[in-house]
Structure 1
Amino acid sequence: MDGKLFTLEEANALLPQIKEELADLQALVNQIELHYQEFQKIKSSNKHGQSVNGHDPLFEIETRIDFMRMEVELAIQNFGRKGVLLKTINPGLVDFPSDLKGRDILLCWKEGEESITHYHGWHDGYMGRKRIADEM
């Protein structure tokens, strides 16, 4: 396996930063959803061809959404730059590549958990999670 391997201690030490960045990302995704709903509402009201004070509201919302999508992409890439794998945004699910007794594994954290207490194999996914304490 290429890339960073985390010890359990390193992954748990990084977790507060991951939680904060995940919360920011979730807020951004929620804002995109709200803007998209506003876009659809204006579009369906047949006012989308009318400008208000010289501004096209659909164009402005669409531009905001496009910019926020770029921010989302950058935020997701930042997880990767740290060496972690963002699996889902809502609910947050993050994997940390690691090694357990010579096996390549992923330390698995799910939003709401205080710390990392589970792992799974690279091909097992979330459903294959096992408690780390059972392996120690």
Structure 2
Amino acid sequence: MISLEHDLSLALSTRLAGIRTADGFHTDIGAEVFRGRVAFDPDRVPCVVLVEKDDVPLEQKRSAVKLGLPYLLIGYACCDPAHPNDTAHQIIADIKRALFSPADPLHPKVREIQYQGRSILPREDGLSLVSAVVEIRLEVVGEL
């Protein structure tokens, strides 16, 4: 174990990798999961990128700490250029389902997965590619 944060990024990556149409999802963004990589070739689409934001200390007692760990989950998929939001809504629905529907916990130290919002990013003219973001915050308890 490198750190709790690393373990959590791996757990999130595993959960996101399950987003496949063969498993009943709308998209195949789980085909490739990147942790922190925001620049990639369009031939790597569909994919999802996990971006870690700055943690927020919520409470501390000696070396035990309660943290809020925010993440951006950015899904990329090919789309109909005339209606890119249709695919973006599928991406958002898939990410939400992967995170909030499973009965098994993400990680023993995660107390809560909080939904923080979503965005559909503007599609660049001429591209048949859309991206959508779901922002979450994990509330965890651990040791410093």
Looking at secondary structure, tell me which structure has more strand per residue.
2
TM bracket, shorter-chain basis: under 0.3
Bigger Rg over Cα: 1
> TM-score, with normalisation over the residues of structure 2?
0.24
Higher helix share: 1
The normalised TM-score by structure 1 is 0.26
